Amino acid sequence: MLLLKKSTFAVRINLEYMGRKHLDKVVDLDKKIAQNPWSKSMFIEELELQSFNRVLVNEYGDVCGYGVSRLQVDEWHLLTVGVDSNIRRQGYGKRLVEDVIRKAALNLDKTVLLEVRASNEIAINLYKKIGFEILHIRKNYYKSSTTPENAVVMKRLVKERDCEMFS
């Protein structure tokens, strides 16, 4: 269980497996925080593929974060991570990413890959702190209504000790 400090009281936040019951709240949060939000059908597809999907849910039932990753051959791909702007910079995004690394370690997989917007320096720095390294830049990867944006492709090698490190 994680705790969210809100003024003078703390709100419990649990890390759970994402299910269909979370979908509407995840989609609403994604629309609120993402530059290019996923459609509901994209999240449904990941559930049907039995990807590794996690949500942060507070004690009131509100979804305040999510992470979606998928195993492709022997590499985990972190597809999307989002945390409500009200609780950012409190370790919740880090916890979601570490959960994927732990899952990879438990499966004896060797790598976690991700793409992040080149302009998202906060996320890039977080990923570096967790041990990700920059592999290369994908030109014009993110399409938007104004101008395309490059993606920074990052990789983290998974170590056996990651099972215990992130439990």
- Quick one: pLDDT at residue 164? 72
- Quick one: pLDDT at residue 123? 92
Q: pTM score, two decimals?
A: 0.86
> 67 and 97 in contact (C-beta within 8 Å)?
yes
Strand partners, 83: 65
Q: What is the CA radius of gyration of the chain?
A: 16
State the DSSP code for 32: H
Confidence class for position 65, pLDDT limits 50, 70, 90:
very high
The predicted-structure confidence for 69-103, as pLDDT tens digits, reads as follows 999 888 999 999 999 988 888 888 899 999 999 88
Q: Averaged over 28-43, what is the pLDDT?
A: 92
Query: What is the b/e burial string over 146-163, where b = at least 16 CB atoms within 10 angstroms of the residue's CB?
Result: eeebebbbbbbebeeebb
Q: What is the mean pLDDT of the chain?
A: 87
Question: The tokens 């509407």 sit on which residue?
Answer: 24
CATH code, 2-165: 3.40.630.30
Contacts of 3 (CB under 8 A, 6+ apart): 10, 11, 12, 13
Q: Averaged over 17-34, what is the pLDDT?
A: 94
- Quick one: pLDDT at residue 3? 46
How do the domains of the chain map onto residue ranges? 2-165
Percent of the chain with pLDDT over 70: 92
Query: Which two three-digit tokens encode residue 112?
Result: 């976690």
- Segment among 1-5, 12-16, 103-107, 162-166 with least mean pLDDT: 1-5
Burial of 114 (0-12, 13-18, 19+ CB in 10 A): buried
